[in-house]
Amino acid sequence: MTTIEELIETARKNEEIARRLFDIEVQVLNLSHCKDFVEQLLEKVQSGFNIDYVWLTLTDSPGNDFIRQALASIEADRVRIIPTLDFLQATQSAREPVLVNQGVGRFRILTPKPVFEQLGSIAVLPLMMNNSLIGSLNLGACDCERYSPEKDRYFLTQLAVKVSLSLASVSAREQINFLATRDPLTRLRNRREMEESLERELSRIRRHPCPLAVVFIDCDDFKPVNDTFGHDCGDAYLKHVACHLAEMIRLSDSAFRFAGDEFVLLLPNQNTEGASVIAQRIREQLLASPLNYHGVKVPVSISFGVACTEQLTEHSARALLKYADQKLYEMKRLKPVRSRDKPLVSAPSTS
């Protein structure tokens, strides 16, 4: 029979657990980025409850794409991505916390290898979003008794619910902010972001003089691509160009979709010559990397114009963009005009 002293001790322990949960919730709830939220959550849960291992497992469901991309830079032993079917089989699609200290091998697929080798018991806390399982918050212990099946799940259930709701909220806020600043097709930053970024860079160089280059880019054959292959191919063409732009610039540089088939690069601390070398390198890379559209290789060619603060007496966004645009059309005028009778690409071989 439980004594009064034991009841009081249990109440004190429960109160302490509830306080720690509240403290964790307060510390992570106002974070606005998924990466920051998850990193802080894992650290706070691990230290706050003295847990040997804490990590997140996410399924590869398309519904998780944004969260997975946001967490891509977190170490693999902290965030693990697995096939959805493997997750559902391992957890038996449980929507309540699962505690196991015998037969932990069934959770091998959920667990980073270094952790699994030390695992004595595990608590798998399912994470829900839009009434669907998206993964789990996992608590691992070397002690076989810490997460034995007979242990009370009340606070673990609370933690699972709080993490699910918080992750959904943070993800939604981050996606809204992302979409407000990004071009929905190419995922590059949009024109409004370009204008704000350019003003910030110009403000910076007024305080700390250094060159700033702007590269204006236009796709040479975008209209013929649309006319020949349709708008789906045109969309794929723009995404192909955007991907190469993002891959070929420095971390300090920025790529933007300006409008239609026009793009802009901002290159801080880069002079005219250096910016021209970068733009020419991108042009050559695109020429060497045609778009593969349903087995047809669609050539990709761009023209560009470079403007640098070194060249202009007026250091304004309008002056830089106007000068870069002029240089762009000078390059386009010097290029030979493709005959309308000449097909954009050769018909694919049927042999």
Q: For residues 89 and 66, what is the distance between their CA atoms, to the nearest angstrom?
A: 24
> Domain residues for 105?
4-180
Is 303 contained in some domain? yes
pLDDT at residue 173, rounded to an integer: 86
pLDDT for 195 equals 94
What is the reported pTM?
Answer: 0.68
**Residues 55, 170 share a domain:** yes
Query: Domain boundary at 153, 180, 207, which?
Result: 180
The label of the residue with tokens 């979409």 reads 179
Which pLDDT belongs to residue 206?
86
* Domain assignment present for 339: no
**pLDDT value of position 351:** 37
Contact between 214 and 195 under an 8 Å Cβ cutoff? The reply is no
Q: In this predicted model, what pLDDT tens digit does every residue of 147-179 receive, in sequence order? A: 999 988 888 998 898 889 889 888 988 888 888
345 in a domain, yes or no?
no
In a domain, 284, yes or no: yes
* Cβ partners under 8 Å of residue 256, min gap 6: 183, 188, 189, 190, 191, 193, 194, 197, 263, 264, 265, 266
Do 142 and 38 meet the contact criterion of CB atoms below 8 Å apart? no
CA 218 to chain CA centroid, Å, is: 26
Q: pLDDT at position 220, please? A: 92
Distance CA 77, CA 168 (A): 22
Pick from 151, 180, 209: which residue ends a domain?
A: 180
Is 226 found in the same domain as 128? no
User: Do 145 and 212 share a structural domain?
Assistant: no
CATH number (domain holding residue 139):
3.30.450.40
Rg (CA), the chain: 27
Low-confidence ranges of the chain (pLDDT < 70): 1-30, 336-351
From 180, 199, 216, the end of a domain falls on 180
Q: Given this model, what pLDDT does residue 176 score?
A: 87
Q: Residue 204 maps to which CATH number?
A: 3.30.70.270
Show Cβ contacts of residue 136 under 8 Å, excluding neighbours closer than 6 positions.
56, 57, 87, 91, 110, 124, 125, 126, 127
Residue 347 is assigned to a structural domain of this protein: no
Q: Tell me: do 10 and 150 sit in the same domain.
A: yes
- Pair 88, 145 in one domain: yes
pLDDT at 350: 42
Note whether 124 and 204 are same-domain residues: no
pLDDT value, residue 149: 94
pLDDT at 331: 93
* Residue 108 located in a structural domain: yes
Q: Are residues 95 and 213 in the same domain?
A: no
In a domain, 13, yes or no: yes
pLDDT of residue 306: 97
* pLDDT attached to residue 219: 95
43 lies in the same domain as 122: yes
Query: Does 243 reside within a domain?
Result: yes
Q: For residue 143, how far is the Cα from the chain centroid?
A: 36
Closest CA to 201 of 137, 270, 148: 270
Query: Which residues neighbour 279 within 8 Å (Cβ) at sequence distance 6 or greater?
Result: 215, 217, 265, 304, 306
Q: Into how many domains does the chain fold?
A: 2
Q: What is the pLDDT of residues 23-53, one digit of tens each?
A: 666 665 667 788 998 998 899 889 888 899 9
Q: Pairing mode, if any, of strands 53-59 and 79-82?
A: parallel
Chain-centroid distance of CA 238 in Å reads: 19
The answer on 196 and 120 residing in a single domain is: no
Same domain membership, residue 166 and residue 286: no
Structural contact between residues 147 and 101, judged by C-beta atoms closer than 8 angstroms: yes
List the beta bridge partners of residue 82: 59
- Judge if 170 and 264 occupy the same domain: no
Does 131 lie in the same domain as 39? yes
Spatial contact of 254 and 191, defined as CB atoms under 8 Å apart: no
